[in-house]
Amino acid sequence: MKFLCSFILLVFFLITEVQAQKVYSVNYDYQADVKVFVTDHSYKADLLVYKVKYDYQARENRGLWYFTDYDYQALKKIFFTEYDYQAELKIYFVDYDYQAGWQKNEKKHLML
């Protein structure tokens, strides 16, 4: 029984960790987990992002982002850089949720 409870808790925490698409925008780069630059064209981006309205829609690591009101609600804190060379991740905001997704999988670990 103890093993089963431990297993269920482990699975719950792993699932929660995978849903790292709840983000909070910080004011300073040193506060951020990831530094992000918003590109002007989708082909320049590592990740195509769609902003969802509700937190439950921000699932998996596929570019569906929910911006939280407070930093403690987010699983990742991001800082928007002024120039692309300052960023670890380049994103482009898309108009529809089906357009969201990774362009470059080697950067995927940044949002886990």
pLDDT tens-digit series, residues 7-16 = 554 444 444 4
Q: For residue 99, give both structure tokens.
A: 């357009």
* Element holding 16 (H helix, E strand): helix 2-18
Predicted confidence (pLDDT) at residue 5 exceeds the cutoff of 80: no
Q: For 39-66, what is the mean pLDDT?
A: 96
Backbone angles phi, psi at 36, to 5 degrees: -125, 140
Bigger pLDDT: 58 vs 17:
58
- For 2, residues 6+ apart whose C-beta sits below 8 A from its C-beta are none
Q: For residue 62, give both structure tokens.
A: 């596929």
* Residues pairing with 90 in the sheet: 37
Q: For 60-83, what is the mean pLDDT?
A: 97
Predicted confidence (pLDDT) at residue 6 exceeds the cutoff of 70: no
Its pTM stands at: 0.81
Average model confidence (pLDDT) for the chain? 88
Predicted confidence (pLDDT) at residue 42 exceeds the cutoff of 90: yes
Q: For 29-39, what is the mean pLDDT?
A: 98
Q: For 69-88, what is the mean pLDDT?
A: 97
